Structure 1
Amino acid sequence: MDHVTTTGAPTGWLRLRLLGNLVNLTTPFGLLVAWIGRAQVRRGPRGLYLGEHYRLGFPVADAFTIGNVITTRDSWPELLERNPDLLTHEEGHTWQYLYCLGLPFYPAYAVSMLWSVIRTGDRASANFFERQAGLRIGGYRELPRRSLLQAVRSLLGRGETV
């Protein structure tokens, strides 16, 4: 798992992302969340910070990203043993924080997650941000889209769910 422990300095676009996510305060916020969750944080590859052994129950995910901080309840070697591409997926979210200018990522992600639930019955399958970061490499499944009528029936408990 040497790609997890690589600590070389970021260059070019990676430096822009690192600086941008510092300025938009998402990386400091990610470090604070990791600290509150008593995660052990270390420098990772490509200007990332990797937190492991996070102890809070939220969010519910194998790993989550805030700014340039990617945190997991597990250890990174054991998590990447199960999903070798997860770090690539999570790194995709770091760019999303940058182009959303930080905190606007959260309402945009929430709307995208709601849309995904409406269209597929799943929080990730039609979520723009999860799809852009690589749905399958993030460990998510792709479900078929349902019509809006089917979605309304399902949400009202009057139809089959996907």
Structure 2
Amino acid sequence: MTASASVKKTANDNHGNEYLVFTLGNEEYGIEILKVQEIRGCERVTRLANTPEFITGVTNLRGVIVPIVDLRIKFDLAGVEINEKTVVIVLSLANRVVGIVVDGVSDVLSLNTEEIKPAPDFSVTLSTDYLLGLGSVDERMIILVDIEKLLTSEEMELVEKSVNETL
């Protein structure tokens, strides 16, 4: 699918789609608000053996074991630390619940088709399959992410396998 096809898929009408905007380092990212279950403060997690570094562990959320993915580590950002603005966004994706650690949440934006531009294609050097496009509002540039493509099924299956082996 081309980048412009993804934009049409995400912004198929002029009424707009709503995105939760969060920060990672100095950049703003947006994910579809309908995938967001809740936003929580950063809590202690249980680390699992044999999982990628960006999977910081799991937590028990009202009886559901939720894997926690630190997007700052996944995106290879330097100086990753937890502070009072760091939050976990709990997402409902397909048949699983996942938490993502981000530097902060700023707002919810409604973007229409004209405000979403295709993501640049970096071809071989960088995978951009998870980019839906770039939202442009006033002086802001929001990187719109397909969170389900970013958190690949293979990664989540690895977490589930680790959780099942631990239990």
Please classify the TM superposition score into its range, dividing by the shorter chain length.
under 0.3
- Considering only CA atoms, is the larger Rg found in Structure 1 or Structure 2? 1
Q: TM-score, normalised by structure 1?
A: 0.25
The structure with higher relative contact order (CA 8 Å, sep 6+) is 2
Greater share of helix: 1
Higher strand share: 2
